[in-house]
Amino acid sequence: MIVKAPKIDRRSFIVGTAAVGGGLALGLQIPFRPGVVRAQDGSPEINAWVVIRPDDTVVIRVARSEMGQGTLTGLAQMVAEELECDWSKVTTEYPTPGQSVARKRAWGDFSTGGSRGIRSSQEYVRQGGATARVMLVQAAANAWGVPATECIVSNSVITHKPSGRTTTYGKVAEAAAKLTPPATVALKDPKDWTLIGKPVKRLDTMGKVTGAQVYAVDLKLPGMLNAAIKDCPVFGGKVKSFDADKIKGRPGVRHVVQVGDSGVAVVADTWWQAKTALDALPIVWDEGPNAKVSSASIADMLKAGLDADQAFVRSQNGDVKAAVAAAPKKVEAVYAYPFQNHAPMEPMNATAKYTPDRCEVWVPTQNGEAAFAATTAAAGLPAEKCEVYKINLGGGFGRRGAFHDYVTQAVLIAKQVPGTPVKLLWTREEDMTHGRYHPVMQAKMTGAFDASGNLVGLHCRLSGQSIVASVFPQLLQDGRDNLAFQGLDPSGDFELGYNVPNLLIDHAMRNTHVPPGFWRGVNINQNAIFMECFMDELAHAAGQDALEFRRKLMSTHPKHWAVLKAVADRAGWGTPAPQGVYRGLAQMKAFGSYVAACAEISVTGGNQVKVQRIVCATDPGYVVNPAQVERQISGSFVYGLSALFMEECTVKDGRIEQTNFHEYDSMRIAQMPKVESILMPSGGFWGGVGEPTICVAAPAVLNAFFNATGKRVRTFPLKNQGVQMV
Partner 1 sequence: MARLTINGKSYDVTVDPSTPLLWVIREQVGLTGTKYGCGVAQCGSCTVHLDGAAVRSCVVPVAAAEGKQVTTIEGLATGATLDKVQQAWVDHEVPQCGYCQAGMIMAVAALLKDTPKPSDADIDARITNICRCGTFQQVREAIHAAAKA
* Cis ω for the linkage preceding 717 (within 30 of 0): yes
- CA–CA separation, 95 vs 77, rounded Å? 17
**Which residue from 57, 376, 427, 466 is in contact with partner 1, where contact means CB under 8 A?**
427
Let me know: does 523 contact 439? Beta carbons within 8 Å: yes
Q: Going residue by residue from 542 to 581, which x/- string records binding to partner 1, judged by CB under 8 A? A: ----------------------------------------
Give 156-204 as a DSSP string.
TEEEETTTTEEEEHHHHHHHHTTSPPPS--PPPPGGG-SSTTS-PPPSS
Host H or E run for residue 655: strand 655-656
Shortest separation between residue 51's beta carbon and partner 1, angstroms: 25
User: Is residue 597 near partner 1 by the rule CB under 8 A?
Assistant: no
The one-character DSSP state at 146 is S
Shortest separation between residue 681's beta carbon and partner 1, angstroms: 20
- CA–CA separation, 81 vs 77, rounded Å? 6
Shortest separation between residue 214's beta carbon and partner 1, angstroms: 7
User: Is residue 251 near partner 1 by the rule CB under 8 A?
Assistant: yes
User: Is residue 279 near partner 1 by the rule CB under 8 A?
Assistant: no
User: Is residue 221 near partner 1 by the rule CB under 8 A?
Assistant: no
Shortest separation between residue 90's beta carbon and partner 1, angstroms: 17
Residues in contact with partner 1, counted by CB under 8 A, come to a total of: 60
Shortest separation between residue 288's beta carbon and partner 1, angstroms: 28
Specify the residue, 188 or 613, whose C-beta has the smaller distance to partner 1.
Answer: 613
- Residue 270's CB: how many other CB atoms inside 10 A? 12
User: Is residue 211 near partner 1 by the rule CB under 8 A?
Assistant: yes
Shortest separation between residue 117's beta carbon and partner 1, angstroms: 13
Shortest separation between residue 220's beta carbon and partner 1, angstroms: 7
Specify the residue, 490 or 626, whose C-beta has the smaller distance to partner 1.
Answer: 626
Greatest pairwise CA separation for the chain in angstroms: 83
Reduced to 3 states (helix: H, G, I; strand: E, B; else coil), residue 370 is helix
- Spatial neighbors of 334 by CB under 8 A, at least 6 apart, are 306, 442, 443, 444, 445, 714
User: Is residue 202 near partner 1 by the rule CB under 8 A?
Assistant: yes
User: Is residue 340 near partner 1 by the rule CB under 8 A?
Assistant: no
User: Is residue 222 near partner 1 by the rule CB under 8 A?
Assistant: no
- CA–CA separation, 373 vs 11, rounded Å? 9
- CA–CA separation, 366 vs 398, rounded Å? 8
Give Cα 397 distance to the centre of its chain: 5
Give 294-335 as a DSSP string.
-HHHHHHHHHHHTT-S--EEEEEES-HHHHHHH-SEEEEEEE
User: Is residue 657 near partner 1 by the rule CB under 8 A?
Assistant: no
User: Is residue 209 near partner 1 by the rule CB under 8 A?
Assistant: yes
CA angle 709, 711, 712 (to 5 degrees): 135
**Which residue from 461, 507, 559, 631 is in contact with partner 1, where contact means CB under 8 A?**
631
Let me know: does 244 contact 268? Beta carbons within 8 Å: no
User: Is residue 608 near partner 1 by the rule CB under 8 A?
Assistant: no
**Which residue from 217, 299, 333, 541 is in contact with partner 1, where contact means CB under 8 A?**
217
User: Is residue 87 near partner 1 by the rule CB under 8 A?
Assistant: no
User: Is residue 4 near partner 1 by the rule CB under 8 A?
Assistant: no
User: Is residue 11 near partner 1 by the rule CB under 8 A?
Assistant: no
**Which residue from 42, 212, 452, 575 is in contact with partner 1, where contact means CB under 8 A?**
212
Contact range with partner 1 by CB under 8 A, out of 188-196, 200-208, 371-379, 474-482: 200-208
Q: Going residue by residue from 285 to 304, which x/- string records binding to partner 1, judged by CB under 8 A? A: --------------------
**Which residue from 205, 317, 477, 555 is in contact with partner 1, where contact means CB under 8 A?**
205
- Residue 218's CB: how many other CB atoms inside 10 A? 14
- What is the rounded radius of gyration, in angstroms, for the C-alpha atoms of the chain? 27
| Distance (Å) of CA 220 to CA 211, 271, 400, 420, 483 | 15, 12, 21, 12, 40
Host H or E run for residue 123: helix 122-144
Q: Going residue by residue from 372 to 401, which x/- string records binding to partner 1, judged by CB under 8 A? A: --------------------xxxxxx----
User: Is residue 183 near partner 1 by the rule CB under 8 A?
Assistant: no
User: Is residue 178 near partner 1 by the rule CB under 8 A?
Assistant: no
**Which residue from 44, 70, 515, 592 is in contact with partner 1, where contact means CB under 8 A?**
70
Let me know: does 473 contact 466? Beta carbons within 8 Å: no
Let me know: does 239 contact 391? Beta carbons within 8 Å: no
Shortest separation between residue 66's beta carbon and partner 1, angstroms: 8
User: Is residue 451 near partner 1 by the rule CB under 8 A?
Assistant: no
Residue type at 424? L
- Per-residue H/E/C for 596-635: EEEEEEEEECCCEEEEEEEEEEEECCCCCCHHHHHHHHHH
Specify the residue, 397 or 706, whose C-beta has the smaller distance to partner 1.
Answer: 397
Specify the residue, 100 or 593, whose C-beta has the smaller distance to partner 1.
Answer: 593
Specify the residue, 210 or 579, whose C-beta has the smaller distance to partner 1.
Answer: 210
User: Is residue 661 near partner 1 by the rule CB under 8 A?
Assistant: yes
User: Is residue 220 near partner 1 by the rule CB under 8 A?
Assistant: yes
User: Is residue 627 near partner 1 by the rule CB under 8 A?
Assistant: yes
Shortest separation between residue 595's beta carbon and partner 1, angstroms: 16
- CA–CA separation, 459 vs 321, rounded Å? 8
Shortest separation between residue 689's beta carbon and partner 1, angstroms: 13
User: Is residue 64 near partner 1 by the rule CB under 8 A?
Assistant: no
- CA–CA separation, 379 vs 412, rounded Å? 7
List of residues contacting partner 1 (CB under 8 A): 67-70, 201-202, 204-215, 217-218, 220, 226, 251, 270-272, 343-347, 392-397, 425, 427-429, 627, 631, 634-639, 660-662, 666-670, 672, 674-675
